[in-house]
Amino acid sequence: MEKHWWHTATIYQIYPKSFMDSNGDGVGDLQGIISKLDYLEKLGITAIWLSPVYQSPMDDNGYDISDYEAIADIFGDMSDMEELIEQAHQRGIKIIMDLVVNHTSDEHAWFVEAKNNPHSEKRDFYIWRNEPNELVSTFSGSAWEFDEQSQQYYLHLFSKKQPDLNWENEVLRHKIYEMINFWVDKGIGGFRMDVIDLLGKLPDQLIKENGPKLHDYLKEMHQYTLAGKDLLTVGETWGATPEIAKRYSNPDEKELSMVFQFEHIGLQHKENRPKWEYIKELDVPALKMIFNKWQTELKLGEGWNSLFWNNHDLPRVLSIWGNTGEYREKSAKALAILLHLMRGTPYIYQGEEIGMTNYPFESLSELDDIESLNYAKEALDLGQSEAVIMDNIRMIGRDNARTPMQWNTEKNAGFSTSDETWLPVNPNFTLINVEEAVSNPNSIFYTYQKLVNLRKEKSWLIDADFELLETEDKVFAYRRYTDEESYLVVVNLSDEEQSFSIDVDYIEIIISNTDEAVIINNHCLAPWDAFCVKIR
């Protein structure tokens, strides 16, 4: 198998509005990110996935782009972006841009022209119909919006300010490829591709994901943009199965490096119910089956996994599956150890490395996210109580992951000097912040740092096979092995002691969040114990 830099990389996701504010307007920006590159270098990450920084009216915080080749004023300008790429490179860090090409903003020049002049070439860049059908938007309500001027409806699978692009139009596709090359020429390290599985949609047949032409488009995109360059590309694919993931990520297919699949995240929700109907208790046996399937089915050379607990659309993992009280640090380390020693490319979401948690939102007025606000409005109209709605948002709402990064114990956790920040700072910043984490050699930060370095140093993390071991329900144990070496990973995913009956004859402790005595006497695991040992 040909090895690429991203096989040994750990990626760090930055949500630009919330990372660091350099100019005191209460919103993070590119100069803010530049000022924190030394911190990221210390963590050891290989690349930053930057959520969108393009020009945008920010209806969906930048996932509604009005100019792909300009930077949003709130974040800075193109020279700041070039400086970020350059400064990051000097520290061995690549920049992965977020590529949002399923839709644009309704303020993008293409859509403005399409709307104003139904006879223009741009009209067919979008999807217009005389009658709406029952397709619904991810952000509540119909996916069709009526345009008075032309007396037609346009499709928007997200907000009405995010009209869907028509990938059947070849001229549009080549405009997108030109834009991709504009960024490749700037020296970026790759792309995270937003809702990429929607590109082949067939709205008349109510098909959104995995339309028949999806993979033709991705192969064409590869041919015109990525071919011959060693870029990391990761597609966001909510509905991927291992079979589908191989179509994207098998190197012979010439499409993408890897995809984000969300099957494990599916355990946070009731099956086939709205995402707001959450399940807090982690079904550990189900989690084991899911990871086992992905780890064994994406064989080396046939496909590649990405590994993540968090992103800007998900709750903070400690608040849903970890422990935010007594075992906060220990559960954070346990979850990290469990995930980062599997095969794939790990992603860390800003603040995960210091154990940040969900925000205690109390009222709708504290929220920003269009998805949560639309949901709340719809649910209130249906007569649901605000108490229930707020409970759901506190657990599942996307703003939980988006509150400002907690740097220190100063005003606004050191994120901004402004009197007001765009989202409130979590009041737990006095305890949970970067300054504290970096000064404490036993902090969650150093577990992440160690995992990031292991990924670079240990080739078995890429090559070794995966075997799930039989254990008590709440214990997740697996073996990674090659012809020459074998490693055991054991994690107690619960607040209770668990018995554990595998005899360990170990040579070396690779990483652990517990005492050596636990590993030797491994018949009883304390809450959230986790370790990896090299075994005979």
User: Where in the sequence numbering do the catalytic residues fall?
Assistant: 194, 236
Q: What's the closest the beta carbon of residue 312 comes to ligand GLC, in angstroms?
A: 6
- Smallest gap from Cβ 166 to ligand GLC, in A, equals 16
Distance CA 240, CA 246 (A): 9
State which residue, 125 or 466, has the beta carbon closest to ligand GLC.
125
CB closer to ligand GLC, 63 vs 191: 63
Q: Residue 250 or 374: which CB sits closer to ligand GLC?
A: 374
Work out whether 60 is an interface residue with ligand GLC (CB under 6 A): yes
Query: What DSSP character marks residue 509?
Result: E
Query: To the nearest whole angstrom, how small is the minimum distance from the Cβ of residue 57 to ligand GLC?
Result: 13
Is 50 a binder of ligand GLC (CB under 6 A)? no
Q: How far is CA 147 from CA 115, 116, 123, 162, 369, in A?
A: 8, 10, 13, 14, 25
Q: Which is nearer to ligand GLC, 315 or 414 (CB)?
A: 315
Provide the CA 24 distance to its chain's centre, in angstroms: 27
Calpha distance 483→465 (Å, rounded) = 10
Cβ 202 to ligand GLC shortest distance, Å? 19
Q: Select 63 or 487, whichever has its Cβ closest to ligand GLC.
A: 63
Q: Which is nearer to ligand GLC, 236 or 263 (CB)?
A: 236
Smallest distance, ligand GLC to C-beta of residue 349, A: 12
DSSP tally for the chain: helices H, then strands E: 17, 20
- Write the interaction track for ligand GLC spanning residues 294-313; mark x where CB under 6 A is met and - where it is not: ------------------xx
Is 100 a binding residue for ligand GLC by CB under 6 A? The answer is yes
Q: Segment 106-165, which members bind ligand GLC (CB under 6 A)? A: 158
Taking the complex as a whole, how short is the minimal distance between the CB of residue 476 and ligand GLC, in angstroms? 27
HSE, side-chain direction, 13 A CA sphere, residue 426? 26
Beta bridge partners of 268: none
Contact residue for ligand GLC among 6, 54, 63, 429 (CB under 6 A): 63
Using CB under 6 A as the binding rule, the residues of this chain from 207 to 246 that contact ligand GLC are 236
Q: Output the CA–CA distances (angstroms, integers) from residue 461 to 342, 456, 482, in the order listed.
A: 7, 9, 10
Smallest gap from residue 393 Cβ to ligand GLC (A): 16
Residue 70 buriedness (CB in 10 A; 0-12 / 13-18 / 19+): middle
Measured from the CB of residue 503, what is the shortest distance to ligand GLC in angstroms?
Answer: 44
C-alpha dihedral (494, 495, 500, 504), degrees to nearest 10:
90
Structure-block tokens of residue 150: 């032309």
User: Nearest-CB residue to ligand GLC?
Assistant: 63
Which is nearer to ligand GLC, 60 or 106 (by Cβ)?
60
Distance of CA 460 to CAs 206, 457, 463, 485, Å? 44, 9, 5, 8
Query: Residue 445 interacts with ligand GLC (CB under 6 A)?
Result: no
What distances in angstroms separate CA 248 from CA 161, 231, 240, 294, 423, one per listed residue? 29, 15, 10, 14, 36
Nearer to ligand GLC, 367 or 477 (CB): 367
Size of the site for ligand GLC (CB under 6 A): 9
Which residue type sits at 436?
A: E
In the complex, least distance from residue 62 CB atom to ligand GLC, rounded to whole angstroms:
9
Neighbouring C-beta atoms of residue 471, cutoff 10 Å: 22
Radius of gyration of the chain (CA): 23
Applying CB under 6 A, does 59 fall inside the site for ligand GLC? Answer: no
Question: Of the candidates 194, 255, 353, 399, which one interacts with ligand GLC according to CB under 6 A?
Answer: 194
Residue written as tokens 């608040």?
319
Determine the Cα–Cα distance for residues 255 and 267; give it in Å rounded to an integer: 28
* Residues numbered 308-367 forming contacts with ligand GLC, rule: CB under 6 A: 312-313
- Three-state SS for 223? helix
CB contact at 8 A, 33 and 13: no
Q: Which lies closer to ligand GLC via its Cβ, residue 63 or residue 248?
A: 63
Q: Could you give the CA distance from residue 440 to residue 433 in angstroms, rounded to a whole number?
A: 11
Rounded distance between C-alpha atoms, residue 30 and residue 318, angstroms = 28
Q: Which of 14, 34, 53, 195 lies at the binding interface for ligand GLC (CB under 6 A)? A: 195
Are 108 and 61 in contact by the 8 Å Cβ rule? The answer is no
Chain positions contacting ligand GLC, by CB under 6 A:
60, 63, 100, 158, 194-195, 236, 312-313
